[in-house]
């Protein structure tokens, strides 16, 4: 995805590190079990030593980038912008995770010498070292050094939970008032989040102050116990889940979903004939039903089975309307959208969100909050589907930092966007395939320049 030249600094060069990766890939397993266990142990040590080297490199990179931005006259409030985003691309993870990692790496390298030395020797894991950094990041340098000194000699023999508990306990003893202040400040981080789960389920999570979380859970448990005592056949967990949905949405039942959802599916999937247990048709068919079991895409969740998509589209009591999207037959890329939908605004924005599905920054995966130009408007970039990209808020701000640029990929269709960071590394990002993208003519994909995909909207 990107190219870089060998480094001339001390230590292994980039080519030597790449060669090490190749050598490990070819490591033989044709040895006895005792040798296998020894190799597993030393491979774990290599992982830890590599993590220590990466943390050291991260701390140096973050410091260098901040110095460069300050020298370039970047306002103090904006110094550091884009650093975590560059590290996220290099580590192949989201900018949010990279930002947390960068903070912990700097603390670990500069202020926890004992813990860092244990990691560097391969005697503990990266996660345990980061736990020490996380649990002491709010302390003064003096108190953090005291925790580090007290833990370093014991760290190799402690597990994840033990490291977390011991570091937190030592931190509390050194600064009890600061610990309580931190707990009170955490109240500002309360939030609700939604993530996909296996088998067309989702995880709706709430980060709440302890008293509120316990009270909410107790209320749901009492409601479940009351209903089950009167003969409700659902399991306790099922009743609690249904009660949560009913109380949050105000619905009479959990199944009566009143909010709008966006469901993207091929026309063949939408109109395929389904049959019940007796073989009776339950909906009309089309002449072309090949490829009609192509999974659909539920915006905000991800792929869902064709049968479930048809049930949502055709078996709901909610109002339903269809808006046609058109994809390129050969690539499956979204090329245009039918704007004929009542009370519909922002056609291009909606098309970008449907096409990109999640933030276009590689390895980010956050929900789309902003739609922006690939080639910026001030540089003459048009406000069009081919020049648009969906981004989370953090990534959109990151690409405005010093030295960043984005351009549409070859062909200018919006199928790809090239991101170039201040260090000259380039990353090409492409959206996930929409339903029907891999179907070929003769296997359900209609021939011609564009094929219809249905976007099914539900609303109360």
Reply yes or no on whether the pLDDT at 163 is more than 90. Answer: yes
| Residue 53's pLDDT band (cuts 50, 70, 90) | very high
Number of structural domains (the chain) is 4
Least confident of 250-254, 258-262, 421-425: 258-262
| Residue 253's pLDDT band (cuts 50, 70, 90) | confident
Judgement on whether residues 362 and 444 belong to the same structural domain of the protein: no
Reply yes or no on whether the pLDDT at 449 is more than 50. Answer: no
Domain assignment present for residue 119? The answer is yes
Reply yes or no on whether the pLDDT at 8 is more than 60. Answer: no
Domain assignment present for residue 66? The answer is yes
Question: Looking at residue 375, what is its pLDDT?
Answer: 83
| Residue 346's pLDDT band (cuts 50, 70, 90) | low
Closest residue by Cα to residue 382 from 411, 412, 410, 356: 412
Angle made by CA atoms 104, 109, 111, in degrees to the nearest 5: 85
Domain assignment present for residue 255? The answer is no
Judgement on whether residues 79 and 224 belong to the same structural domain of the protein: no
Domain assignment present for residue 129? The answer is yes
Question: Looking at residue 195, what is its pLDDT?
Answer: 80
Q: For 447, list phi and psi in degrees, rounded to 5.
A: -70, 160
Judgement on whether residues 231 and 325 belong to the same structural domain of the protein: no
Highest mean pLDDT among 269-273, 346-350, 398-402: 398-402
Closest residue by Cα to residue 82 from 375, 304, 398: 398
Judgement on whether residues 233 and 266 belong to the same structural domain of the protein: no
Distance, in Å, from the CA atom of 412 to the CA atom of 402, rounded to the nearest integer, reads: 25
Question: Looking at residue 344, what is its pLDDT?
Answer: 25
Mean pLDDT on 141-161:
94
| Residue 290's pLDDT band (cuts 50, 70, 90) | very low
CA 356 to chain centre: 13
Domain assignment present for residue 180? The answer is yes
| Residue 112's pLDDT band (cuts 50, 70, 90) | very high
Judgement on whether residues 52 and 182 belong to the same structural domain of the protein: yes
Q: What is the mean pLDDT of the chain?
A: 79
| Residue 340's pLDDT band (cuts 50, 70, 90) | very low
Domain boundary among 199, 221, 249: 249
State which residues form the domain around 202: 191-249
Reply yes or no on whether the pLDDT at 278 is more than 90. Answer: no
- Over residues 322-339, the pLDDT tens digits come to 555 555 655 556 655 544
Judgement on whether residues 283 and 418 belong to the same structural domain of the protein: no
| Residue 315's pLDDT band (cuts 50, 70, 90) | low
Reply yes or no on whether the pLDDT at 342 is more than 80. Answer: no
Judgement on whether residues 66 and 127 belong to the same structural domain of the protein: yes
Question: Looking at residue 366, what is its pLDDT?
Answer: 85
Domain assignment present for residue 349? The answer is no
Question: Residues 283, 287, 289, 290: what is their CA dihedral angle, to the nearest 10 degrees?
Answer: 170
Domain assignment present for residue 350? The answer is no
| Residue 432's pLDDT band (cuts 50, 70, 90) | confident
Question: Looking at residue 414, what is its pLDDT?
Answer: 60
Judgement on whether residues 232 and 209 belong to the same structural domain of the protein: yes
Judgement on whether residues 53 and 108 belong to the same structural domain of the protein: yes
Mean pLDDT on 436-449:
44
Reply yes or no on whether the pLDDT at 122 is more than 90. Answer: yes
Percent of the chain with pLDDT over 70: 72
Question: Looking at residue 287, what is its pLDDT?
Answer: 40
Judgement on whether residues 290 and 410 belong to the same structural domain of the protein: no
Judgement on whether residues 241 and 144 belong to the same structural domain of the protein: no
Question: Looking at residue 329, what is its pLDDT?
Answer: 55
Domain assignment present for residue 4? The answer is no
Question: Looking at residue 159, what is its pLDDT?
Answer: 92
Question: Looking at residue 219, what is its pLDDT?
Answer: 93
Question: Looking at residue 257, what is its pLDDT?
Answer: 61
Question: Looking at residue 111, what is its pLDDT?
Answer: 95
Judgement on whether residues 285 and 396 belong to the same structural domain of the protein: no
Mean pLDDT on 181-207:
81
Question: Looking at residue 350, what is its pLDDT?
Answer: 78
């Amino acid at each position: 995805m990107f190219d870089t030249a060998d480094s001339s600094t001390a230590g292994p060069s980039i080519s030597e590190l790449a060669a090490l990766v190749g050598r490990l890939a070819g490591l033989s397993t044709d040895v006895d079990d005792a040798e296998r266990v020894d190799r597993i142990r030393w491979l774990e040590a290599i992982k830890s030593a590599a993590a220590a080297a990466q943390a050291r490199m991260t701390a140096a990179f973050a410091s260098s980038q901040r110095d460069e931005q300050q020298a370039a006259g970047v306002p103090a409030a904006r110094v550091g912008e884009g650093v975590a985003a560059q590290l996220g691309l290099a580590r192949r993870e989201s900018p949010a995770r990279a930002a947390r990692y960068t903070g912990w790496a700097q603390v670990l390298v500069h202020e926890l010498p004992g813990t860092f030395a244990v990691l560097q020797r391969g005697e503990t894991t990266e996660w345990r070292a980061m736990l020490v950094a996380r649990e002491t990041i709010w302390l003064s340098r003096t108190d953090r050094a005291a925790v580090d000194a007290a833990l370093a000699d014991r760290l190799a023999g402690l597990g994840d939970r033990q490291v977390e508990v011991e570091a937190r306990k030592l931190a509390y003893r050194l600064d009890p008032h600061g610990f309580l202040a931190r707990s009170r400040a955490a109240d500002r981080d309360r939030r609700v989040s939604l993530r996909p789960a296996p088998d067309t389920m989702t995880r709706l999570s709430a980060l709440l102050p302890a008293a509120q979380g316990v009270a909410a859970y107790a209320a749901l448990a009492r409601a479940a116990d009351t209903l089950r005592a009167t003969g409700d056949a659902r399991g306790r967990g099922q009743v609690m889940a249904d009660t949560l949905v009913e109380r949050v949405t105000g619905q009479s039942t959990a199944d009566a979903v009143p909010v709008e959802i966006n469901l993207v599916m091929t026309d063949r999937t939408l109109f395929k004939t389904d049959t019940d247990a007796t073989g009776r048709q339950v909906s009309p068919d089309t002449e072309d039903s090949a490829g009609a079991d192509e999974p659909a895409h539920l915006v905000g969740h991800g792929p869902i089975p064709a049968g479930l998509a048809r049930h949502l589209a055709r078996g709901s009591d909610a109002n339903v309307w269809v808006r046609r999207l058109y994809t390129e037959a050969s690539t499956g890329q979204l090329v245009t959208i039918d704007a004929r939908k009542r009370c519909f605004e922002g056609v291009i924005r909606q098309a970008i969100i449907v096409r990109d599905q999640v933030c276009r920054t590689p390895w980010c995966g956050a929900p789309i909050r902003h739609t922006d130009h690939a080639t910026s408007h001030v540089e003459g970039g048009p406000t069009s589907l081919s020049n648009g990209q969906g981004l989370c808020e953090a990534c959109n701000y990151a690409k405005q930092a010093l030295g960043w640029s984005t351009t549409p990929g070859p062909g200018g269709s919006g199928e790809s966007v090239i991101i170039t960071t201040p260090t000259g590394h380039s990353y090409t990002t492409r959206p996930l395939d929409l339903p029907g993208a891999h179907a070929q003519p003769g296997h359900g994909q209609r021939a011609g320049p564009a094929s219809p995909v249905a976007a099914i909207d539900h609303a109360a």
